[in-house]
Structure 1
Amino acid sequence: MLLGMVALTWMTGCATSAVSGRPSALRAEALPPEFAQGSGGLGFLGKRDDFQLLQQSAGLEEGSWHEAGEELETDDAHKLWETLARTRTTLHSFGPRRALIYLLRQMLARDEDVPYSELLQRLRPFHFLVVMRPDGYLVSAITGKPLQRMGRVELREGKLMAGAFEVGAFYRDKGGVYYPVDDSLRPSGPLLGELGLERDWLNAALDGSGDALGEVGLALAQLVTSPVRSLQGLQQLPSAVAALIASSPEYFTRYSALPLQEQIREAARLSTHLLMLYGSASGTAARIAAAGSALPVLSLTAEGTLAVEQIAVPAGITVTALGTGAGALYVLMEAPKAPEEGSGDSKKTGSGFRPLTEGNFRENLARLTGRMPKEAHAHHVFPQEFEKQFRNAGINIHDPKYGAWWEQSSHLKNAAKYNWRWKEFFDLKPTFEQILQFGRELGDEFGFHVNY
Structure 2
Amino acid sequence: MPSEPPSHRMWTRVASRSVSPPLRLLVLLPLLASCPVACASHPPPEALAATRDTLAGLDEFGALLLGAGLPVEAIPQGRSVSPVQAERLRRYFAILPYLPQHYAPRVVADELLRYVQQHGQGLSRWDLSRMVQEYRSLFLLRQDGYLAAALTGEPAQCVGPVEVRDDGAGAGAFEMGEFYTRADGESWRRAGRPNLDKL
TM-score, length basis structure 1 = 0.29
- Deviation of residue 185 (structure 1)? 5.7
- Residue pairs, 1:289-304, within 5 angstroms: none
- Is residue 64–residue 105 contact of structure 2 (8 Å, CA) maintained in 1? yes
What is the aligned partner in structure 1 of residue 122 from structure 2?
Answer: 113
- Is residue 179–residue 193 contact of structure 2 (8 Å, CA) maintained in 1? no
What is the aligned partner in structure 1 of residue 105 from structure 2?
Answer: 96
What is the aligned partner in structure 2 of residue 124 from structure 1?
Answer: 133
What is the aligned partner in structure 1 of residue 161 from structure 2?
Answer: 152
Indicate whether 1:55 and 2:69 are aligned. no
What is the aligned partner in structure 1 of residue 191 from structure 2?
Answer: 181
CA distance in 1, matches of 2:69, 2:88: 15
Specify every segment of 5 or more residues in structure 1 that has no aligned partner in the other structure, as ranges: 1-45, 187-452
- Deviation of residue 181 (structure 1)? 2.4
- Deviation of residue 178 (structure 1)? 2.6
TM-score, length basis structure 2 = 0.63
SS in 2 for 1:148: strand
What is the aligned partner in structure 2 of residue 77 from structure 1?
Answer: 86
CA distance in 2, matches of 1:185, 1:151: 30
Distance 1:104 1:176, change over 3 A: farther
- Deviation of residue 47 (structure 1)? 5.8
Quote the sequence identity (%).
29
- Is residue 144–residue 161 contact of structure 2 (8 Å, CA) maintained in 1? yes
CA distance in 1, matches of 2:162, 2:100: 14
- Deviation of residue 156 (structure 1)? 4.5
CA distance in 2, matches of 1:117, 1:176: 33
Q: Which amino acid aligns with 1:94?
A: Y
Distance 1:86 1:155, change over 3 A: closer
How many residues align? The count is 140
SS in 2 for 1:128: coil
CA distance in 1, matches of 2:165, 2:71: 37
CA distance in 1, matches of 2:110, 2:124: 18
- Deviation of residue 143 (structure 1)? 1.2
Q: Which has the larger radius of gyration?
A: 2
- Deviation of residue 135 (structure 1)? 1.5
Once the two structures are superposed, residues 258-307 of structure 1 have per-residue CA deviations (whole angstroms, 9 ceiling, x without a partner) of xxxxxxxxxxxxxxxxxxxxxxxxxxxxxxxxxxxxxxxxxxxxxxxxxx
Please identify runs of 4+ aligned residues in structure 1 that moved more than 2 A.
Answer: 46-49, 154-159, 172-179, 181-186
SS in 1 for 2:123: coil
- Is residue 65–residue 109 contact of structure 2 (8 Å, CA) maintained in 1? yes
Once the two structures are superposed, residues 426-451 of structure 1 have per-residue CA deviations (whole angstroms, 9 ceiling, x without a partner) of xxxxxxxxxxxxxxxxxxxxxxxxxx
Q: Which amino acid aligns with 1:100?
A: A
- Residue pairs, 1:13-412, within 5 angstroms: 48-67=58-77, 70-174=79-183, 175-184=185-194
Specify every segment of 5 or more residues in structure 2 that has no aligned partner in the other structure, as ranges: 1-55
CA distance in 1, matches of 2:93, 2:138: 21
The root-mean-square deviation of aligned C-alpha atoms, in Å, is: 2.2
- Is residue 53–residue 142 contact of structure 1 (8 Å, CA) maintained in 2? no
Q: Which has the higher helix share?
A: 2
Tell which has more relative contact order, 1 or 2 (C-alpha 8 A, sep 6+): 2
SS in 2 for 1:138: strand
Once the two structures are superposed, residues 7-46 of structure 1 have per-residue CA deviations (whole angstroms, 9 ceiling, x without a partner) of xxxxxxxxxxxxxxxxxxxxxxxxxxxxxxxxxxxxxxx8
- Is residue 61–residue 125 contact of structure 2 (8 Å, CA) maintained in 1? no
Once the two structures are superposed, residues 307-345 of structure 1 have per-residue CA deviations (whole angstroms, 9 ceiling, x without a partner) of xxxxxxxxxxxxxxxxxxxxxxxxxxxxxxxxxxxxxxx
CA distance in 2, matches of 1:173, 1:109: 30
Distance 1:49 1:64, change over 3 A: same
